[in-house]
Structure 1
Amino acid sequence: MASVSNAYLHSVLAFLNDQGISTTEIKCNIAQLSSERIAMKTYVDLLNFGAERTELSLFGFELGKHIQARDYGVLGYLVESCENLAQAIDVLGRFDALVADIGQTQLNVTDTFAHLDWQPLSTDCKQMVLRNTTAWVATVRKILGETLSPNQVTFSFALSAQEIAQLKEWFNCEVITNTNENRISFDKTLLALPFTSENKAMFQALVKLSETELLQKKLSQSELSQFIRNSNIKQQVATLLSATSNLQGCDQKRIAEALFMSARTLQRKLKAHQTSFSAMLEAERKSRIDNLLKHNTIAQTAYELGFVEQSSFTHACKKWFGITPLAYQKSLLGLTDKIAK
């Protein structure tokens, strides 16, 4: 059944809430919204409701601009750990169903250009396509730079002159409507442009994690054994924590969303493995601190480790090592100097 993940749909609810629209006002199948997977029709109904209620004819476009890695779950982390755009498109094609099993992606490469096509499974597709297309470009810009622009974007449906002008300004390229395909065309050379977050070991770990989740999605509830559902949740969390470039905002809720479960469920599963999210986050922070302090200021290190205030970092450092961050940094640099000599 065509469906989207809970995290992908709830990011729509969060956007509506930011616009002052509460869940109680939503006119679609609310009963489904607490499920792990939500039917495509419910998702389409929610997008259309959002467009009508906010009076934003390009509602999907506005959603796409605000896309976050957590909206994609594990797939978001996987894309960010790719070596380049070509690899990112490949994993999107393989694992896109984890996030939204509502269309087919195909890449066609010519001598000069690469064309990324997306064919939705619903004829009522305007807002779906707008969100998907915009989110794709927004995600790539976050990784490769905000100035990146396609050469051309095409849509299979009609848009007004005002809507086209608005899209042209953001995409910074030609926008054509009423075509045979929904397509993003860009310079072929971008496929090989390296991502700054390259991490081959992490990429392989995330691929395995995505394959496990895809298997879970394909199995029925009766077929999905408790062993598979709970398989090595501790390792999954550790993988996601390690894959995060910095730990700012990396809390239990975010990691739970990436694994398509509630924070409470994650807490319960980790407890079954004799650990907790806070303990795992602390371990990840400790594994990073030496390298960060050797190359950054104390303030920057505190930020990279996810501490909101530097005083919290100082407290943690005293707890771990019995000394202040400055004293610990000096000891690290002194050790480095001795090794260098």
Structure 2
Amino acid sequence: MSLGDTHGYNFSYLIKSSRDLAAAIDSLLHYDTLVADIGTAKFSHNTEVATICWTPNQQCSEQVVLRNMTAWVAVVRHLLDPHLAPSCLHLEHSFTQQQLQQLSDWFGCDVKGGMTVNKIDFPHDYLQFKFSSDNPLMHHALVQLSQEQLADIQAVQLVSQRVLNILMSKQDL
């Protein structure tokens, strides 16, 4: 997460001002590209387990994957309870048994490497945990600001893509 600009700070406050973990995950999924467009997160849940799957962009190293996964867990622990732990963590990269044990010790759950997906499973009940930093007015204002910033980024990307298409068509002549 690059905090070199205001997007990162706004995003951090957006997460902290959420009412509960479910709202924070919703914000994460909608506005993560404002901070770093390095992958795609998907969220699913049933009555017992909630899962965040993260597919990094091709150029991402295993350190980037570990940084994202540990950052998500660290933020939840900071905002809710330092002892919370996922149910299970799957990582696409392979690790030695010693590395897996170190990761397992930090995450507080079973960690498996060499899997087909990067994912964090956690108890569904965690979604209802309330944030002590809940601030509905701030959250609403930051959602509006994030929507505007995302629209600006998408507009620039659209213009960039049009220019690229024009340049590519000129090469074909």
Q: Normalized against structure 1, the TM-score is what?
A: 0.44
The answer to whether the aligner puts 1:84 opposite 2:20 as a matched pair is yes
In 2, Cα distance between equivalents of 1:183 and 1:127:
15
Say which structure, 1 or 2, has more relative contact order (CA 8 Å, 6+ apart): 2
In 2, Cα distance between equivalents of 1:102 and 1:213:
17
In 2, Cα distance between equivalents of 1:208 and 1:71:
13
CA 1:71 to 1:145, structure 2 compared with 1: closer, same or farther past 3 Å? Answer: farther
Which residue identity is paired with 1:180? T
1:5 touches 1:98 (CA, 8 Å); kept in 2? no
Please identify the structure whose Cα radius of gyration is greater: 1
1:215 to 130, 133, 151: 151
CA 1:71 to 1:165, structure 2 compared with 1: closer, same or farther past 3 Å? Answer: farther
- The Cα of 1:71 is off from its aligned counterpart by 8.9
Q: Secondary structure at the match of 2:26?
A: helix
| Structure 1 segments (4+ residues) deviating >3 Å | none
- The Cα of 1:6 is off from its aligned counterpart by 6.0
The answer to whether the aligner puts 1:171 opposite 2:107 as a matched pair is yes
In 2, Cα distance between equivalents of 1:119 and 1:212:
25
1:231-265 deviation line (CA, Å, top 9, x unaligned): xxxxxxxxxxxxxxxxxxxxxxxxxxxxxxxxxxx
In 2, Cα distance between equivalents of 1:123 and 1:80:
29
In 2, Cα distance between equivalents of 1:148 and 1:6:
25
Give the aligned partner of residue 182 of structure 1. Answer: 118
Q: Which has the higher strand share?
A: 2
Pairwise mapping of residues 70-149 of structure 1 onto structure 2 (< 5 A)? 72-122=8-58, 124-149=60-85
Q: Specify every segment of 5 or more residues in structure 2 that has no aligned partner in the other structure, as ranges.
A: 160-173
Q: Specify every segment of 5 or more residues in structure 1 that has no aligned partner in the other structure, as ranges.
A: 8-35, 37-69, 224-341
1:152 touches 1:175 (CA, 8 Å); kept in 2? yes
In 2, Cα distance between equivalents of 1:128 and 1:110:
28
In 2, Cα distance between equivalents of 1:73 and 1:117:
24
Q: Secondary structure at the match of 1:100?
A: coil
1:150 touches 1:186 (CA, 8 Å); kept in 2? yes
Q: Which has the higher helix share?
A: 1
Give the paired residue count: 158
Q: Percent same amino acid at aligned positions? A: 36
Which residue identity is paired with 1:80? K
In 2, Cα distance between equivalents of 1:125 and 1:113:
28
